[in-house]
Structure 1
């Protein structure tokens, strides 16, 4: 740690850094930032930076508002979009109470607690997200809704198109920040894009996702367009998911890999999937935390609506991707429910908790979904045991409220705040008179 701190202090001096931004997130997953002068960085490492936690969504209660932000020197990076102005760097922070205890409502700490639990069982948790988002001409919208920057579709090559330049600049910035990108392409929706980050440990991935969102927003602003991670901004276009590949390693060995097993999926891997399926409804209020998230989950466009798994079946909630010959280390499972607007720290903590529960309790993996789940009738799905995910935020809250797993993983404070926050959102949504109602009712009733 001292070597990392020394490296940061030396780099700040050598590169002429003018400001250092300290980053952390609130419970909803909104990035928070405070800039300090280079001369204050050393004391921030040692003493932390004090702030009023009660002013941050869900971070603490008003009677215990004082908190400290301690920058993590391992996350130090120079921000490329500030390079030509006042050179600026950033570090993610761990939040503590004044007596030095980790803040129970710090989302980064929630994930670190869960990763420590996995480590106690000999596991390291790796994740690989495929992040979808829309590029719009602006944040404004008319009677026909938001206006996408193009009319292109999946993998389309658009000569001279906005998305090409956008993705190229975004990937360059991400690489400059030390975030490795696997590939990028146009997605199925008009103006929809996808950029996939390489595998990394879950904490690094969550930090990378928060940085990714900022990079995408900054590049969009620089190119005169608007980027949104809203799960479903247009009713006639697919929603934006964040399909995430998951794997557990025991030392250097992939715990999901077994050479002679079906799909080369080990007993540990099968139990992990069973845990994901068993607890999926309970964690959906976190992996899909907004009213709009359920427009994606139940709006078609390859979004998973039912709790089932399949081998290379893109209609299933959990997919076991095609095995790559001679690449046992690449064995993994893909959770397709999570959307691009989730808090990655809390979502990864719950996905890991659900999977570990399956391993601990020896859950049995149900038969796989071999057919296209969307094309089955309701009665066929019921007969096969494919239960639906929550159909609305209201249903998701009800499933989460009674979940011991979610309460234990998030901790009392984050759990209670999340329930209250989502109830308020649902209450406001339920009271809203929508354009749909006006269009279909006002002129005839």
Structure 2
């Protein structure tokens, strides 16, 4: 037993053992849990919760769910005329929330169902992830592994004014690590000079240590490494172990939840916004994936030159073929496209390569050989942390499986630095670019959506497009402050 959750070893890695409902109620009693926090994600990935008294929580509610949700008040769920939803807790997600010390509280992540016994809510992102795992089995595989690398920023303070548009719109970021730090304290680092600096330039080591301890000991999410990332002003990454698709998405959402709450504990604020600082690196959510069958990694072939199986190549080809449409899900905010520009290690170009960070898909090659077959994977570098991980993993899986089904070969890997190629060279090599705006990405999804249909209903896809277009319009109708600098004297 480690912390609140038991573990076992699978494929040389430590993973969580499942709980039964009876074990959960025994633990609630033994730990003197006073409240149960019922947590779930909206279609756009926002984390929500409602809290019930542990004294009123029953095994019947664990089994049948709790009638506690007005779906019309959650973005992307239901309309006001049909909004009664049921929260059904998953006992495998039980964890005691460590920062709630006055009245001991545990959390359970919930699946969303319609009221009146009408089945699963199609727009429940966790349900989409579970549907993706079932679809994978129909395609001849046992399971998939997913390892998201979630980057984020931690600032001392952030101020913005957008609610008084006729007065002017502005924002400001305060950080002891930043080169614009006016207090003269600390050892600031320059733009794009934040990778692996030692203390005292890196001021967030204790913060990340605290996040890792909470994720490991209290939430059963194993972390093996943390560090400062490339950008200045508090860009961080904490690496978490890979897991099955739905579990990995649960872990990514919990990761964000923990990071934000620990930041508050430290008197700071954390953000998953992809590009909060101009002229500096943005935050990604590089997504590592492998498929497994008969306890073997289906992407590994010891006899292949690059040790990638033909199935793996087709999977890679599917992602590349649908990459522009995928952006509407993997990069769902207008801010996402400020990150997807050349010059900041962002995956602008739709290509694949071993150990080449200028390509959208990278095949990590730290180790080779049969001993490390379980590590053979594709790292899809386009997604960012503003996305909903349940949808990202499901959509990437659907794209890859479409590639396997239709035998989409990705072509030769690109070994050169694509950033240094001319446009003519890229055209000759057939290297396309990701969409330049959210609106363009939504157009791509609208025209290339069929590959998602085994997992995503058309209703869900339509709602994703509708919500994305609303955000795109919100930004397109407003002048940007920098436009005053560029155009005021025209």
Contact persistence 2:214–2:258 (CA under 8 A): yes
Aligned twin of 2:229? 187
Aligned twin of 1:171? 212
Secondary structure of the structure 2 residue equivalent to 1:81:
coil
Contact persistence 2:34–2:55 (CA under 8 A): no
Q: TM-score, normalised by structure 2?
A: 0.87
Deviations 1:389-429 (A, max 9, x none): 11100100100111222355321222111111111111111
| Residue 86 of structure 1, aligned match among 95, 103, 112 | 103
Distance 1:167 1:424, change over 3 A: same
Aligned twin of 2:47? 31
Contact persistence 1:141–1:147 (CA under 8 A): no
Alpha-carbon distance in 1 for matches of 2:20, 2:454: 33
Query: What is the CA distance between 1:160 and its match in structure 2?
Result: 8.1
Alpha-carbon distance in 2 for matches of 1:149, 1:275: 44
Contact persistence 1:59–1:106 (CA under 8 A): yes
Aligned twin of 1:267? 310
Contact persistence 2:158–2:172 (CA under 8 A): no
Contact persistence 2:152–2:235 (CA under 8 A): yes
Deviations 1:113-134 (A, max 9, x none): 1110101223211111111111
Secondary structure of the structure 1 residue equivalent to 2:332:
coil
Aligned twin of 1:55? 73
Distance 1:173 1:41, change over 3 A: same
| Residue 370 of structure 1, aligned match among 403, 409, 415 | 415
Contact persistence 2:284–2:381 (CA under 8 A): yes
Would you say 1:349 and 2:394 are equivalent positions?
yes
When structure 1 is superposed on structure 2, of 59-68 and 238-247 the one drifting more is 59-68
Where in structure 1 do 4 or more consecutive aligned residues deviate above 6 Å?
none
Alpha-carbon distance in 2 for matches of 1:141, 1:30: 21
Query: What is the CA distance between 1:102 and its match in structure 2?
Result: 1.1
Alpha-carbon distance in 2 for matches of 1:47, 1:265: 45
Alpha-carbon distance in 2 for matches of 1:431, 1:141: 18
| Residue 112 of structure 1, aligned match among 117, 126, 130 | 130
Query: What is the CA distance between 1:39 and its match in structure 2?
Result: 2.5
Alpha-carbon distance in 1 for matches of 2:383, 2:474: 23
Would you say 1:140 and 2:186 are equivalent positions?
no
Query: What is the CA distance between 1:100 and its match in structure 2?
Result: 4.7
Would you say 1:243 and 2:286 are equivalent positions?
yes
When structure 1 is superposed on structure 2, of 24-33 and 116-125 the one drifting more is 116-125
Query: How many residues get paired?
Result: 443
Alpha-carbon distance in 2 for matches of 1:3, 1:277: 38
Secondary structure of the structure 2 residue equivalent to 1:307:
strand
Q: TM-score, normalised by structure 1?
A: 0.96
Distance 1:259 1:408, change over 3 A: closer
Secondary structure of the structure 2 residue equivalent to 1:133:
strand
Alpha-carbon distance in 2 for matches of 1:387, 1:3: 46
Secondary structure of the structure 2 residue equivalent to 1:264:
coil
Aligned twin of 2:241? 198
Aligned twin of 1:162? 203
Aligned Cα root-mean-square deviation (Å): 1.7
Q: Which runs of 5+ in 2 are unaligned?
A: 1-16, 162-169, 178-187
Alpha-carbon distance in 1 for matches of 2:38, 2:337: 33
When structure 1 is superposed on structure 2, of 106-115 and 147-156 the one drifting more is 147-156
